[in-house]
A and B are shown apart, each in its own frame.
Chain A
Amino acid sequence: MDFLDIVSSILLLAGVFFGLSGAVGLFRFPDFFTRIHAASVTDSIAAILIIGGLLLQTSFDLNTAKLVFILLFLLVTSPTASHALAKSARHGGLLTLAESSPQDKQESAK
């Protein structure tokens, strides 16, 4: 039991670290698309680790099944939401950093 608790707290702490990294990245990254990448760290690995840690805290009953469901739905819905955001930004005409920065340089060269 103690061993499970230790593993679970390691998973939870790692999850918190990655969640925090995602939030920091959200502020540090330069443009919209790169910020989605930062948010997807929180979406994917932090969710997996935190729910994995919580799974070990349950006594393997109905709550375990519910947590597994939550994880499955998160793994399906969060990339879909990121994709929808990115797609609408792209179709709305937002340029990525790679596409917009060479133009800036050309303009400043003029």
Chain B
Amino acid sequence: MHIVKWAVVLSIFWLLLSGFIEPLLLSFGVISVVIVLFILKRMDRAENEPGQIGTSIRLIRYTPWLIGQVFSSAIHVTKLIWGSPDKVSPAIAKINVKDVPASSRVLYANSITLTPGTLSVDLDENEVTVHALHRSSIEELQEGQMEKKITGIWGENK
């Protein structure tokens, strides 16, 4: 079933990237989609966890909030860059991610890295090691606003 979904997604993707509606180029598109589907089918045999698509609605709910976070923390880091370098007080800490669903932990670590000022250095079973430009960012992460947002959006069906 997910092969059909992927066929649709890949075809739309190819059409958006190409934009040419000529028989020759369209047939190239069909060939490349078929090759990718063939590889997907073979990979399913190696791994029994078919790639899920359909989380996009959740992503649409999450992305604007994340971009807001990126903006506020980028302004904070920019102030540090143009200010005096002595104000930089890097800190490193481990943050517990037991409450975050396992499938969303990569997203959580990537969100931490994407917001300037915090950087996920390592991801273990239950902990993310976070390096921050300023101790206050780590305290903010430990308060768990981002964690709550992610578990709120992705944790519903668990």
B90 CB contacts on chain A under 8 angstroms: 31, 33-34, 96-98
Number of interface residues of A (CB under 8 A): 39
* Minimum C-beta distance from B92 to chain A (A): 5
Q: Which of B17, B70, B121, B133 contacts A90 (CB 8 A)?
A: B121
Bound-state CA distance A29–B80 (Å) is 9
B117 and A99: CB pair below 8 A? Answer: no
Interface check B38, CB cutoff 8 A: no
Q: A86-B121, A96-B131 are in contact. Are A69 and B74 (CB under 8 A)?
A: no
A86 and B119: CB pair below 8 A? Answer: yes
* Minimum C-beta distance from B32 to chain A (A): 16
Q: Which of B82, B92, B120 contacts A98 (CB 8 A)?
A: B92
Interface check B9, CB cutoff 8 A: no
A interface, CB within 8 angstroms of B: 18, 21-22, 24-25, 28-31, 33-34, 36-38, 40-41, 43-45, 48, 62, 65-66, 69, 75-76, 78-80, 82-83, 86-87, 90-91, 96-99
B interface, CB within 8 angstroms of A: 16-17, 19, 67, 70-71, 74, 77-78, 80-82, 85, 88-92, 109-111, 113-122, 129, 131, 133
